Amino acid sequence: CLDLFADGDDFSWETIQKNRNIYYQKQLANQINVQMTKLITFLTSSLCTHLNIGQDFHIETSQVVMSLETKSSQSLSNPFTKQIVNGQIQLPSNFDIYLNNSEKISIRSIMKPLAPLGSSSSMFNTNFSRSISFSILDRNQNELSVEKLPNKFIELIIPRDPNMITQPMTLQNVTFMNSTPHQLIFHYHYFNLTALLPISIHWEIQPLNTNVAYLFVYKFDGIPQLNSSLNQIDGWTVFCPSQLTNESIYEYFIDNQHTTSHQYVVSGLRQLNSTEIQYSCSNSSMKNLPITNERFNFTSNYQMRVYTSGCYYLDNNNQWKSDGLVVGLLTNHYQTQCFSNHLTSSLV
């Protein structure tokens, strides 16, 4: 029994107690999830019997929100948007062609306050998010699945846990480095990408002087190098003052499809001089990198925050998966935008 709760060769009392609590919490969570699934199935069956086309039913408690509406499948020939609390599901046009000629359908939407654990060890990827379950049922309450949408996506806006505390920005005292000996062209930052499920990565850079502009570069599994004789980067952008958000922040993100199979990413930042700003920020068609061989020179410090996000679904074996899901550009601290090319029952 001790082997079940030990961590490798660690048989300490603290480790056994911690893993024992996690084990039984997970068992209880899965039991609750099974009971909830049975209850939802019973409610759906009972309500669908009495709902006619065009009617809907809404249940909202402190723990779960459920919406059930009955429609004709032809109504999904147009784009369909379903709002559930502060989450949203949007189906593309002509979705009715994937519904096996079902005339009467029921659309069930459920939001839970926290994502279920699943049976995999990747639960740490999902414990900051609410979960949205979206199902389309035929007249016999059989769930209709869509394996893959050709060149189309289902869009979901999934709220994050409102109790999650956003990590503060970290001050980068780069002006101090101007007086120290170095030959660095960029100020570098390392971020680990190793995870059991793919993640997207988001950078937020807040200059203390909002008139400065930057060149931002990055490289996967290596250090980005860029000068007149060397170009070893995987991506870049120029941050100009006109791109600052209302909070005076520059934003950049790489979605989960591009981080897959990589171990880490290193970003580099340097402040542009006045000539570079005039060329790069006043020329909307600028396509060339502002390249220099000079070491960086920051006239103002900046703050930085890096965070991750992901889109996952539970498969039939209660395992979290991410295939067919892409993190969208509208993802932020409060919500995750997901694009899915298949219809599954639970997404976070």
List, in order of start, the domains of the chain with CATH numbers: 2-164+333-340 (2.60.220), 170-309 (2.60.120)
* Mean pLDDT value of segment 239-264: 96
Please give the residue that has the higher pLDDT: either 162 or 174: 174
109 pLDDT tier (thresholds 50, 70, 90): very high
Q: What is the pLDDT of residue 177?
A: 86
Question: According to the model, what pLDDT value does residue 116 have?
Answer: 56
Residue 11 structure tokens? 């048989």
The DSSP code for 133 is E
User: Which residues are bridge partners to 82 per DSSP?
Assistant: 89
Which candidate, 292, 268, 280, 294, places its Cα nearest to that of 241?
A: 280
> Residue 122 pLDDT more than 50?
no
Q: Which two tokens stand for residue 303?
A: 């703050």
- Under 8 Å between Cβ of 305 and 245: no
Give the residue from 52, 40, 54 showing the smallest Cα distance to 143. Answer: 40
What integer pLDDT is reported at residue 252 of this predicted model?
Answer: 98
Q: Which amino acid is at 246?
A: N
Say what the pLDDT of residue 102 is. Answer: 66
Q: Quick one: how many helices (H) and strands (E) in the chain?
A: 4, 22
pLDDT the model gives residue 321 = 87
123 contact partners, CB below 8 Å, separation of at least 6: 26, 117, 320
Over residues 77-97, the mean pLDDT reads 91
For a pLDDT cut of 70, what percent of the chain falls above it? 88
Are the C-beta atoms of 39 and 110 separated by less than 8 Å? no
Q: Which two tokens stand for residue 3?
A: 């082997």
Task: Please answer whether residues 272 and 213 qualify as being in contact, where contact means their C-beta atoms are separated by less than 8 angstroms.
Answer: yes
Exposure b/e, 198-237, CB count within 10 A at least 16 = b? bbbbbbbbbbeeeebbbbbbbbbeeebebeeeeeebbebe
Q: What's the DSSP call for residue 9?
A: T
Report the pLDDT value the prediction gives residue 11, as an integer from 0 to 100.
62
Half-sphere exposure of 309 (CA within 13 A, CB side): 29
Instruction: For residue 202, list its beta bridge partners.
Output: 253, 307
Of the ranges 106-110, 119-123, 305-309, which one carries the lowest mean pLDDT score? Answer: 119-123
Distance CA 144, CA 169 (A): 45
DSSP state of 7: B
Selected residue with higher pLDDT from 228 and 129:
228
Mean pLDDT of the chain: 86
For residue 298, what pLDDT is reported?
95
pLDDT above 70 for 286:
no
In whole angstroms, give the CA distance from residue 302 to residue 177: 13
Query: Looking up tokens 């570079």, which residue turns up?
Result: 276
Residue 313 has pLDDT above 50, yes or no: yes
Residue in 333, 222, 328 with CA at minimum distance from that of residue 267: 222
Average pLDDT of 116-125?
49
Cα dist. 158→24, 218, 312, 343 in Å?
Answer: 28, 28, 11, 15
pLDDT value for 49? 79
Whether 125 has a pLDDT exceeding 50, the answer reads: no
Please name which of 158, 198, 162 lies closest in space to residue 336, comparing C-alpha atoms: 158
Closest CA to 259 of 311, 205, 337: 311
For residue 111, give the 3-state DSSP assignment: strand
Q: What is the mean pLDDT of residues 54-75?
A: 88
Encode pLDDT of 175-217 as tens digits: 988 888 889 999 999 999 998 889 999 999 999 999 999 999 9
> Which residue has 């006045």 as its token pair?
274
Residue 17's pLDDT is 77
Lowest mean pLDDT of 66-70, 139-143, 266-270, name the range.
Answer: 139-143
Least confidently predicted of 148-152, 264-268, 295-299, 306-310 = 148-152
Q: Is it the case that residue 123 has pLDDT exceeding 50? A: no
Residue bearing the bigger pLDDT, 318 or 204: 204
